[in-house]
Chain A
C-alpha cells in the first residue's frame, strides 16, 4: 500500500485511533459503513484515475485495507500489495 492510499483511507476509519493502518486492518470494524464505502470507492477512483470493475465491488474487497489495495493495484497494471507502491503507475 502506498502513502497516498493510507492517507486517503484513514479519514474513513474513525475508530482507528493511533493504531497503524496495515493490510490486515478490518475496515468495517474501524467504522467504514456502506455509504462511506461508496464515497471511498469514488475517491480511490478519482485519485488513481482508474475505474474499479463491478466484479470487484464485493464485501470481500471492502473487508480489509489490503483487499481494497489489491483490487486497486489490479487496475494499476497488476501490481499486488506485496510489490512496490503503484503510485507512479498512474
Chain B
C-alpha cells in the first residue's frame, strides 16, 4: 500500500475500483429514476473483494486503512453518491467488527466479508427517539439460549439486500435509555418484514426502507460489551461514518465539477459559454475552493484519527470529537453549495435539467441529504457542549 494520502487508490486496487466505478456510472441514471438498489454494483463490489477492504489480511481481506477507504469512496462518489454511501457505510460496520467484536464473532464474520459474501447493513434508527444515535427504545431480552431481538427501524440503507445487520438495542439489564448494546444478526437468524415505500428526493438508489427485525442470536454476537455502544461510536462508528460520508459527498461534488469543466472545455461547450466571463470564472473558483476546504479537512481528520489510534490516545477527547463533527458539518454544507455554485455557473439547461451530461440535477438532490443524514443541528448541539469542555481551545 502506498500509505500516501491524496495519491488515489492504492495501485493494486486501481483496476477493481475502476470496474466498480464504471458500472456505477452506467447504472446511476436508471437506479435513480426507479429508486432501485444497485444490485449489479453490489455484486461487483463482492467479486472484486472491495467489500473486504478493511478486513485484515489474516482473515483474507485487503487489509486497507482509512486512506484507501477515502480514496475509493471518493472515486465511487464521482459516479453515484448512493453507491459511495452504501460502500462506505458497509466499511464502517466492518471496522466496528474488526475493532470491537470478540475473537469468535470476528472469526466467523470477517472471512465471509473478505470473500464478498457478507454485505453489512446498519440498524440504528428507531421511531420516537428523535434521531438520538446513543439511545435505544427496544430492548434485548435475555433467554437461556441467547438474546431475543424485536426491533422496528424506519430507515435501513440497503436493508433488503444485506446479508447481516449490526443492530443497536437497549441492553437486557438496562437501567436507562443510554444503556445500549450493539449486536450482530445474520439474515438467517432473523425474520425480516419490510414496510413502506422508498420514494425520496435524492439518494434514491440507497433504497433505505423501513424494516421490522425479529429473531434470536447467541450471546457471543454482542459487539463489544453489553451497554458499550457509546464506546463503539466514539472510537469507530463516529470517525468512520463522518470520514466516509465526507468522502462520498466530496466525490459527488468533484465528479460534478469535473463534468462541468469538461463541458466548458469541449468545442460545443465553448460555443455556448463565454469563458471570458468574470462571473463564470468566479463561480468556478468558489466551487473549487469549497472542495479544497473539504478535502483538506477530511485528510487532516483522517491523519489525526490514524495518529491517535496508533499512539493509543483517547479519541473521546473533546478536541478530536469536535474535529470529526466539524468535518461532517462542513462537508455536508460545502459540497452541496459547490454544486449550487455550478448550477448558477452553467444555468438552466445544463444545471437544472435531467439528462444533461453534467449530472448536476441528481448531484444536488443527492447532496441535499447530507445535512440531514445525522442532522447537522444535532451535531452543533453536541459540539457546543464539547466546546465548553475545551476552554483552552486546543486543536487536534
Q: Do A and B bind each other?
A: yes
Of B231, B317, B391, the contact of A58 (CB 8 Å cutoff): B317
Stretch from B173-181, B184-192, B252-260 at the A interface: B173-181
Q: Is the CB of A31 within 8 A of B317?
A: no
Nearest residue (CB) in A for B227 is: A29
Q: Is the CB of A29 within 8 A of B389?
A: no
Q: Is the CB of B391 within 8 A of A15?
A: no
Residues of A within 8 A of B178 (CB): 28-29, 31, 33
Q: Is A7 an interface residue (CB 8 A)?
A: no
Of A30, A31, A38, A59, the contact of B314 (CB 8 Å cutoff): A59
Q: Is the CB of B175 within 8 A of A31?
A: yes
Residues of B within 8 A of A34 (CB): 382, 385
Residues of A within 8 A of B388 (CB): 38
Q: Is A3 an interface residue (CB 8 A)?
A: no
Residues of A within 8 A of B318 (CB): 54, 57
Interface positions, chain A 41-68, Cβ under 8 Å from B, are 41, 54, 57-60
Q: Is the CB of A59 within 8 A of B234?
A: yes
Q: Is the CB of B390 within 8 A of A54?
A: yes
Q: Is A84 an interface residue (CB 8 A)?
A: no
Residues of B within 8 A of A58 (CB): 314, 316-317
In the bound assembly, the distance between CA atoms of A8 and B391 in angstroms comes to: 23
Nearest residue (CB) in A for B175 is: A15
Interface positions, chain B 252-280, Cβ under 8 Å from A, are none
In the bound assembly, the distance between CA atoms of A60 and B392 in angstroms comes to: 20
Interface positions, chain B 313-343, Cβ under 8 Å from A, are 314, 316-318
10 residue pairs of the A-B complex, CB under 8 angstroms, read: A28-B179, A28-B230, A29-B178, A31-B178, A38-B389, A54-B318, A58-B317, A59-B316, A60-B314, A60-B316
The chain B residues found within 8 Å of chain A, CB to CB, are 175-176, 178-179, 227, 230-231, 234, 314, 316-318, 382, 385, 388-392, 394
Q: A29-B227, A54-B389, A54-B391 are in contact. List 16 more A-B contacts (CB 8 A).
A: A15-B176, A28-B176, A29-B178, A29-B179, A30-B175, A31-B178, A33-B178, A38-B389, A54-B318, A54-B390, A54-B392, A54-B394, A58-B317, A59-B231, A59-B316, A60-B314
The chain A residues found within 8 Å of chain B, CB to CB, are 14-15, 28-31, 33-35, 38, 41, 54, 57-60
